[in-house]
Structure 1
């Protein structure tokens, strides 16, 4: 896993590729055209070497995980995105709406444990407002006062903040007062309007997603960023998406982690597309690592990829594999992900990292290392 610059052979008859290799070796930022060219022309072995070099400069050989669980308050949603297998309508036998007491009960399971984070996301409930979202955070903190609450995608936030007739900054300040610590990266999908018009025409725009994360960063709320890939988007769309996030990170420095999320085809209207193969997954992780030079961490979400594929991703620039989860999320399992009941012990997580050649390390939610497992 340790990359050596001398192991990377910049000699190639493709002068354009050679110039990009030189940029990566020297630590120079690649541009959008370079990113597209890597997707289209670089072989997998070269991408692995370049991505591992880029990652090693930032993170050494540490591969991170955390101790976390999820609360998904509802899968009712005012939107009906075509890639989504999670959305259900009121009255559907597979729909749910958690009460505040049920949310407290979910938190009570982790009293006297060393879990450090709760991740709260769900559908956009048509009747909930910003203060109810705040009450959910407050309910969790009542039970687990010291837990880090990472909550609510930009899509949820856009809906409830606009409904409350507040600016993004005002809405985020209110949620921060309730106990919000950071926000996840969900809802980004692909920013290109022509793609969004086909896969999620009802939800907030890419510009709105970026504006919410900018407002969060300006109010001291760190966040993550995602990209949904492997459906109808092109390589150009992927690079444009990463460029917009990279540009905002240059301005705010508020993103902790970039998370490519694979489109899963089960139980949704876009299932006819099928899914890209693992070679494409690895290509995407590698180009993401090389391109996102100002976001330190790159995550392979193990419930989405499966354990064996996560091991491979570690050798394509990934330095974070998420956490223990404890079978508390259904978002990807309902879409046919590899892990249908996602739960992981620390022992298994550290084993996965070691088998992939990395040094396992537990992190907190904003990527401070808590413990290294030598």
Structure 2
């Protein structure tokens, strides 16, 4: 209990699984005592997942090109068309990286890249069908609404037609990529050439209607207000009310290096943890909440497990985009399991649909593969790392 009856009532209603309004969400985000906010959010986790399990995933994020016409101000990864540092991987290189991922136990691959002016729907059909043919055991959880809009524009076809074609080619699930900030003012400030937030959500809703689920994300720390952060999740929740197609929500923090924003703003650790907890209370209709240890660090990732989080995301055998902007946090399978176990939870490897593949109830049941480490940022290498194998770093 706090000294504010209104805040107490909101926290209790949220903890019990009731719906809180955006105005109430903003109030508890800014004014609720941290411990009371975290306790209410953790009550949601305990009610939803009484077994105390926290999940993780093994996947690889493979970027097929860094050529992009969108030029987002926060992005350090892209290169403009015809830039001397632009590249696009041939299919054999993409398949080689998929094979490495499978060898290390990955169950999912995230294929993402820039908005290449020459890449229409046929490119993605070949990409997904080739991966699916070579590695049918890999779930293709890939691209985002921005890439779908881009391929539809290149070909002059509808969003729906593009979605149906890439689904038929093997796309299993859509990543929450490109959400950044959905409200109009902050979105135009950081990505003026990108589609609107409403359009991003329209693509997701169309995909959900055709049986393709997705995740939703938010990048915080580029100068948006507290109210705009709440507006972002309210826009997502409205779509979820209609479709139920978002499996998880994943907030992450802007990384300040090598991009035009230059780190003039950033979200603090406290802002991040408060937002995570408030989101768990707000998203009564989204099953999972994932922490972003990649951008916040392992210590903050572990703290978030006490703020309603039930998933620590991926070991991520390769990641280039956020790494380009300065994310230096790495982990390995032993570290991630230690983070979960030492927080008083039970670690479990999951698949894309959050089905448990292996539950490690005791330390004796923990996996022992020291090669499963994150993450190798390959773009620093000539040709975007083409032909380079994953460095199998020993765990410490």
Same fold, TM exceeding 0.5?
A: yes
Segments of structure 1 that go 5 or more residues without pairing to the other structure are: 1-8
What's the CA shift for 1:106? 1.3
On the 8 A contact 1:103/1:139 being kept in 2, the answer is no
What's the CA shift for 1:343? 5.2
Distance 1:180 1:163, change over 3 A: same
Aligned to 1:141: 132
What is the SS of the residue equivalent to 1:27? coil
Alignment of 1:150-161 (within 5 A): 150-161=141-152
On the 8 A contact 1:249/1:295 being kept in 2, the answer is yes
Distance 1:26 1:116, change over 3 A: closer
Aligned residue among 240, 250, 257 for 1:259: 250
Q: Following the alignment from structure 1 to structure 2, what is the Cα–Cα distance between the partners of residues 138 and 25?
A: 43
Alignment of 1:352-363 (within 5 A): 352-363=339-350
Distance 1:46 1:295, change over 3 A: same
Question: Cα deviations across residues 214-254 of structure 1 (Å, max 9, x unaligned)?
Answer: 11111111100011111211111111111111111111111
Alignment of 1:63-78 (within 5 A): 63-78=54-69
Q: Following the alignment from structure 1 to structure 2, what is the Cα–Cα distance between the partners of residues 163 and 349?
A: 41
Distance 1:338 1:43, change over 3 A: farther
What's the CA shift for 1:349? 2.0
What's the CA shift for 1:268? 1.1
What is the SS of the residue equivalent to 2:219? strand
What's the CA shift for 1:168? 1.7
Alignment of 1:10-89 (within 5 A): 11-12=2-3, 14-60=4-50, 61-89=52-80
Q: Could you list the structure 1 runs, at least 4 aligned residues long, displaced by more than 3 angstroms after superposition.
A: 90-95, 110-114
1:332 is the counterpart of 2:322: yes
Segments of structure 2 that go 5 or more residues without pairing to the other structure are: 362-396
Aligned residue among 291, 300, 322 for 1:300: 291
What is the SS of the residue equivalent to 2:151? helix
What is the SS of the residue equivalent to 2:130? helix
Q: Following the alignment from structure 2 to structure 1, what is the Cα–Cα distance between the partners of residues 97 and 266?
A: 33
Q: Following the alignment from structure 1 to structure 2, what is the Cα–Cα distance between the partners of residues 212 and 53?
A: 33
Q: Following the alignment from structure 2 to structure 1, what is the Cα–Cα distance between the partners of residues 109 and 69?
A: 24
Q: Following the alignment from structure 1 to structure 2, what is the Cα–Cα distance between the partners of residues 236 and 110?
A: 40
RMSD: 1.6
Alignment of 1:313-328 (within 5 A): 313-326=304-317, 328=318
Question: Cα deviations across residues 128-150 of structure 1 (Å, max 9, x unaligned)?
Answer: 11110111112212321221001
Alignment of 1:1-374 (within 5 A): 9=1, 11-12=2-3, 14-60=4-50, 61-90=52-81, 92=83, 94-326=85-317, 328-339=318-329, 342=330, 344-345=332-333, 347-374=334-361
What is the SS of the residue equivalent to 1:316? coil
What's the CA shift for 1:41? 0.4
Corresponding pairs, count: 360
Moved more, 263-272 or 70-79: 263-272
Q: TM-score, normalised by structure 1?
A: 0.92
